[in-house]
Amino acid sequence: MRISVIGCGYLGAVHAASMAELGHEVVGIDVDERKVATLRDARAPFYEPGFEDLLRCTLGTGRLSFSTDVADAAGARVHFLCVGTPQKHGEYGADLRYVDAAVESLLSVLQPGELVAGKSTVPVGTAARLAELVEGKVPGALLAWNPEFLREGFAVEDTLHPDRLVYGLPAGPDGEVARQLLDEVYAPIVARGTPQVTTDHATAEMVKTAANSFLATKISFINAMAELCEATGADVKLLADAIGYDDRIGRKFLNAGLGFGGGCLPKDIRAFMARAGELGADQALTFLREVDNINMRRRIRMVELAREVLDGSLLGKRVAVLGAAFKPDSDDIRDSPALNVAAQLQLQGAVVCVTDPAAVENSRREWPHLDYAATPEEAAADADAVLVLTEWRQYRELDPVAFGALVRQKRVLDGRNALDRETWTAAGWTYRALGRRAG
């Protein structure tokens, strides 16, 4: 099938290459000329394991192309909308200007019988509004919402092997036409029995924001427990293990630490609250404000913990920050807790050196006033404290004995509860972590 993908960021670029991998003829459209040139060159504009190989292979088949001209989307039977929906400046709501502009530009090429399939995360009600616009301007064209659940760091695997497909379809016979088109796009995924939820526009939009709200709540729940553990001397890691054995609760997303960040969870829960307010249902989601507050408090607590460990003052202290990306296996630094903490430490007088296996370039561009190093060893040279703020495998596997020879003071703050406390303390380190007693 001929397919277009509008917006080739973390979501769209992976989606475009994955759809070509499934055998479709795909054109990816983006307004960013540099990104399009990079993708055409078979280079990934961002770090995502396995993506560059997939890009190279699918470009090599001739089935995948990229363009800045939406006219090249003409003739596609399905047009996937994958543009960004960031938080509005100074407000909680989602900024829909990119979605609106993408749909507006598509109208110039859209033909009856073609399907616009939204994948961006949008406030509930957006699809119904866009469907009216599309059907009004191009009678016979359809709009569905097909939210995306990929995780950065596993984006290729999640796109090719999703755990479910959610279709938000128009009412009546149009819905069946849209469903058949989406089933044809995802034929190999459907054939292997992947669960499908077929529903209306509003439910499909809400599935995504509800899922993100649940995950954010689970993280903030365990971080609230960490606050209590800090007050009582209990150990949040053992607490998480113990409650996680209950399969109604589960251990996943119960790692206490610096909390969530990135381009999705924070802005999605805020947009969800804003939308609930517009719908007169704000009380239903006031708990998300607390989820957000707990999450942001962890960053402040991390800075306090660093001050405590550094004998009460950050002034002139050398601090190595390991990790800048909002999560491991990604170079995404949008709302990164690690960089937030690094910047606070520096503003309060510490001499901060940040390292990350993939995100130094992005970090330097956005946070030019911080110092950067290429390796953890370089960052830790003569450090008074080492903070592990993104749980990259490389950092989890550091040898505390060899690493200890580089620093001025063997003090480690494990912002992700990712290190083995015993081996670090056995190597002479003072070990501190959120929600755990000093080791």
Can residue 117 be called a binding residue for ligand NAD (CB under 6 A)? Answer: no
Can residue 319 be called a binding residue for ligand NAD (CB under 6 A)? Answer: no
Sign (positive or negative) of CA dihedral 407, 419, 226, 272: positive
Q: What is the DSSP letter of 23?
A: T
Query: What's the CA gap between 383 and 385, in Å, rounded?
Result: 5
* Residues 6 or more apart in contact with residue 156 via CB below 8 angstroms: 14, 17, 18, 48, 49, 50, 51, 54
Can residue 265 be called a binding residue for ligand NAD (CB under 6 A)? Answer: no
Can residue 263 be called a binding residue for ligand NAD (CB under 6 A)? Answer: yes
- Is the Cβ–Cβ distance between 341 and 319 less than 8 Å? no
Can residue 123 be called a binding residue for ligand NAD (CB under 6 A)? Answer: no
Q: Is 85 annotated as a binding residue?
A: yes
Binding mask 266-305 for ligand NAD (x = CB under 6 A): ----------------------------------------
Phi first, then psi: give them for residue 377, nearest 5 degrees.
Answer: -65, -45
82 catalytic, yes or no?
A: no
CB 18, min distance to ligand NAD, A: 13
CB 190, min distance to ligand NAD, A: 20
Can residue 120 be called a binding residue for ligand NAD (CB under 6 A)? Answer: yes
* Residues 6 or more apart in contact with residue 291 via CB below 8 angstroms: 213, 216, 217, 220, 269
CB nearer ligand NAD, residue 102 or residue 385: 102
Please select the residue that binds ligand NAD; options are 148, 174, 205, 329, rule is CB under 6 A. Answer: 148
Can residue 84 be called a binding residue for ligand NAD (CB under 6 A)? Answer: yes
Residue of closest CB approach to ligand NAD? 9
Query: What's the CA gap between 409 and 429, in Å, rounded?
Result: 8
- Give me the DSSP letters along 124-148: TTHHHHHHHHHHHHSTT-EEEE---
- Bridge-partner residues for 191, per DSSP? none
Can residue 116 be called a binding residue for ligand NAD (CB under 6 A)? Answer: no
Query: What's the CA gap between 439 and 431, in Å, rounded?
Result: 5
Can residue 216 be called a binding residue for ligand NAD (CB under 6 A)? Answer: no
Q: Give helix 286-309 / helix 337-347 axis angle, nearest 10°.
A: 50
CB 3, min distance to ligand NAD, A: 15
CB nearer ligand NAD, residue 154 or residue 296: 154
CA atoms within 13 A on the CB side of 425: 10
CB 282, min distance to ligand NAD, A: 22
CB nearer ligand NAD, residue 98 or residue 403: 98
Residues contacting ligand NAD: total by CB under 6 A: 27
CB 97, min distance to ligand NAD, A: 8
Please select the residue that binds ligand NAD; options are 27, 55, 102, 380, rule is CB under 6 A. Answer: 102
Q: Tokens representing 40?
A: 């055409």
Please select the residue that binds ligand NAD; options are 37, 71, 101, 401, rule is CB under 6 A. Answer: 101
Q: Is 30 annotated as a binding residue?
A: yes
Pick the catalytic residue: 8, 82, 229, 264? Answer: 264
Q: Is 152 annotated as a binding residue?
A: yes
Neighbours of 112 (CB within 10 A): 10
Residue 39's SS3 state is: helix
CB 84, min distance to ligand NAD, A: 4
CB 98, min distance to ligand NAD, A: 4
Query: What's the CA gap between 85 and 334, in Å, rounded?
Result: 13
| Dihedral in degrees, nearest 10, Cα atoms 112, 117, 120, 121 | 110
Binding mask 10-29 for ligand NAD (x = CB under 6 A): xxx----------------x
What's the order of all strands across the beta sheet hosting 196-200? 64-67, 25-29, 2-6, 78-81, 115-118, 142-145, 165-169, 196-200
Q: Is 80 annotated as a binding residue?
A: no
Can residue 9 be called a binding residue for ligand NAD (CB under 6 A)? Answer: yes
Residues binding ligand NAD (CB under 6 A): 6-12, 29-32, 35, 82-85, 98, 101-102, 105, 120-121, 148, 150, 152, 263-264
Catalytic residues: 264
- Binding residue positions for NAD(+): 30, 35, 85, 121, 152, 267, 334
- Binding residue positions: 30, 35, 85, 121, 149-152, 208, 253-257, 261, 267, 327, 334
